Amino acid sequence: MAGLMAGFGHYTHAIVRGIPASLATEALRTSQAEVDLDKARGEHDAYVQVLRTRLGLEVVELPADEALPDCVFVEDAAVVCGDTALITRPGAESRRGETEAMKEALKDLKMNIVEITDENATLDGGDVLFTGREFFVGLSKRTNQRGAEILADAFKDYAVSTVPVLEGLHLKSFCSMGGPGLIVIGSSDHAQKALKIMQQMSDHRYDKLTVPDDLAANCIYMNLPNKGHVLLHCTTEEFPESVKVFEKLKDHMLIPVSNLEKVKLDGALTCCSVLINKKKPDN
């Protein structure tokens, strides 16, 4: 598997977006917890610093838009694989305007842009898990079958399977990739059921790393020059038992990143960046 997936986790660029003041009061949420705007901005600044300074990615920072309270959660606006970027059609109508700035940023990076124009389709990037070999797309409150079909059409080199998301906002609310061939999964019944479906649908065998907390299963894996395997994951303050599980990954550079405020808005670590691998042009 390692040979075939040699490029998995390689990234050169990240697109992020600022936090508007409207996030605190108007962003969509399933909980009623109060969001501390200053803390959320501090958390996000620290996250961006990790990407830029600690990991050396080229970070494209889009400005916040007060009319788009959820705009910091850029992952939902685009799915990028190779040099193709699929501009999504978010399931929440109030979020559809978020794709405009994302599309322009991806055009500036010379990506091949594909747009979802079908008004019957919905797709949030948070429902899309790319394993390096195939895509799993969660069918959730935000993503439907038509959205999954358009994604399959945009990325024809890869198999695409759908997975029902019965609880939680998105597929990646309880899972993510922790390395080549390694799925990090929450321990709840619905997370474990979703993993079983993924395993049944796939021609490939995946290892799994089960963490006690579903939200902790959302982490960011990268494989970077001079750094090797890197994993951004939750902090001990948030999920101490899950952090103990991550600490067993002895081959990874582990970087805890706080997400205490954005999690109140169902935002996870992957939600706040779109990662891109821009190959250097051959001279």
Q: Would you please indicate which residues are annotated as catalytic (active-site) residues?
A: 170, 271
What is the distance between the alpha carbons of residues 242 and 99, in angstroms, rounded to a whole number? 33
Q: Which helix (H) or strand (E) holds 153?
A: helix 145-154
Binding-site residues for substrate sit at: 28, 70, 75-76, 95, 142, 265
What is the distance between the alpha carbons of residues 139 and 245, in angstroms, rounded to a whole number? 28
Q: What is the DSSP letter of 123?
A: B
What is the distance between the alpha carbons of residues 232 and 218, in angstroms, rounded to a whole number? 9
In one-letter notation, the amino acid at residue 65 is D
Q: How many CA atoms lie within 13 A of 45 on its CB side?
A: 6
Binding-site residues sit at: 28, 70, 75-76, 95, 142, 265
Q: Which helix (H) or strand (E) holds 25?
A: helix 23-26
How do beta strands 220-224 and 112-115 pair? unpaired
Handedness of CA 42, 101, 225, 229 (dihedral sign): positive
